Amino acid sequence: TVSGMIGKEVLGLLLRLIGFVGVAVTMGIPMWRVTTYIMWDGLWMNCKMQSTGQMQCKINDSVMRLSMDLQAARPLVIISIIFNFCTSCLKSDSSKSKLTILGGILLLIGSLLVLIPVCWSATFTISDFNNPLTIETQRRKIGASIYIGLGSTALLLIWGIILCTSCPPQKMYG
């Protein structure tokens, strides 16, 4: 029915929009790893709380200063955002079922490109936190970016799966 299609398109737009914004926030805020809110590590900058209560942030100008998981996360998240943006250019009506499937595949790939660095960084952070050789003041916990990234990935995966499975089968004419 028409109302069902409109509802599905609105749901898809919301899932994709919230997922896209979530991925952008995940990439942008420096909260991939935190130490009891004194130091925050992100893809693009690190922040440190001063004794005066002010936050001082420095842009990561050298990739070599980043841990391997954050080095890998930068391009993966950027590619994911590009893939997720590309799906908004595709319209999904029944005459364009191939484009709908392509949009779903791009969303699935884009969400996996976020999921990989988010899970890798979470694993790295947890193992480093549990390492007895890590100095107490240097122990970092999982930051908000990881949780936002996981939620955004879930939304994009759900919509990507819906797109990939919702196309009607092609009619065979003999």
Q: What is the CATH number of the domain that holds 97?
A: 1.20.140.150
Residue 173 lies inside a defined structural domain of this protein: no
Asked if residue 172 belongs to a domain, the reply is: no
- Whether 56 and 50 have beta carbons less than 8 Å apart is answered as yes
Number of structural domains found in the chain: 1
Global pTM? 0.78
49, with CB counted inside 10 A (0-12, 13-18, 19+), is middle
Average pLDDT, the chain: 83
pLDDT of residue 167: 62
Is the model's pLDDT at 115 over the cut of 90?
yes
Question: CA triplet 75, 36, 135: central angle to 5 degrees?
Answer: 85
Whether the CB-CB separation of 136 and 91 falls below 8 Å is answered with: no
Specify if 170 maps to a domain. no
Which SS3 state, helix, strand or coil, does residue 62 take? coil
- 18-27, 90-99, 105-114, 121-130: which range is least confident on average? 90-99
Range of 150's domain?
A: 2-165
The CA distance from 173 to 82, in Å, is 38
59 strand-pairing partners = 45
52 phi/psi in degrees, rounded to 5: -80, -10
In a domain, 171, yes or no: no
Q: Sorting pLDDT into bands at 50, 70 and 90, what band is 90?
A: low
Per-residue pLDDT of 147-172, as tens digits, reads: 999 999 999 999 888 888 776 555 54
Residue 9 covered by a domain: yes
